[in-house]
Amino acid sequence: MNKFKEIFLDLEQKILAGEYPSHSLLPSENQLIQIYGVSRETVRKALNLLRNAGYIQKKQGKGSIVLDVNRFEFPISGLTSFRELQETQNIPNETTVVTLEKKSVNEKLQKITDWPLDTEVWHLVRQRKIDGQVVLVDKDYLLTEIIPELPVEKAKDSIYAYFENDLGLDIAYARKEIVVEPVTSELRELMSLAMTDTHVVVVRSLVYLEDTRCFEYSEAIHRLDKFRFVDFARRKKV
């Protein structure tokens, strides 16, 4: 094995073990040269592997900053609410309802959902805090003809539990789109973002009932360093 790969694996193990905790600095290039007895080029190759793997961010004048590698798994397939994700992965969180109001479907929303123009919908915006930081923002649009009432306390808890248990709705499936998009000024106000955070992961979903009616359009906006998106795939020959 190449020496720089050995150094990468050793530093990776130390980061994962917490020897170099999140937001701390790795030893400088000169220190790493002394620690491993290698050339500067070898150290830089190892650091580049760490950066490409998402373990560090190199910052001018400071060195190599260790990133938070503890990310919560968000399933790509399936239809899982954030509350269910929080319960299964023991994520300590706090939900704040930023907006809960009735609106009319505009042209932009109509193109996405095929809902008729001026149809009444709930507009719900929630902040999800983990360790005191807003790492996820949920934006939901819900047809009021299907969801006639949406109490704030239900919105703070689990809207899917409310839909299924209180309203008796049969939620069946969703069409999802997952994209990486630039951070906007609105998101900087809503989320806990550093100036170095330039992009977010947006999961857009059209959610349908068992009778095939689309009743919800949602945008779940995730901070890059806190979530990873996972799935199980089985090969199917075509």
In this prediction, residue 114 carries a pLDDT of: 94
List for the chain the helix, strand, coil content (%; round to 5): 30, 35, 35
Are the CB atoms for 97 and 155 separated by under 8 Å? yes
CA angle 137, 140, 143 (to 5 degrees): 170
In this prediction, residue 81 carries a pLDDT of: 59
Percent of the residues in the chain that have a pLDDT greater than 90, as a whole number:
58
Taking alpha carbons only, the member of 236, 237, 234, 238 closest to residue 77 is 234
DSSP string, 195-206: TT--EEEEEEEE
| Regions in the chain scoring below 50 on pLDDT | none
In this prediction, residue 89 carries a pLDDT of: 52
In this prediction, residue 237 carries a pLDDT of: 67
Nearest-10 crossing angle of helices 40-52, 3-16: 50
In this prediction, residue 2 carries a pLDDT of: 87
Is the CA virtual torsion 234, 217, 165, 85 positive or negative?
positive
In this prediction, residue 119 carries a pLDDT of: 97
Q: How far apart are CA 7 and CA 32, in angstroms?
A: 9
In this prediction, residue 105 carries a pLDDT of: 97
In this prediction, residue 124 carries a pLDDT of: 98
In this prediction, residue 92 carries a pLDDT of: 62
Alpha-carbon distances of 104 from 7, 153, 179, 207, rounded to whole Å: 58, 23, 26, 19
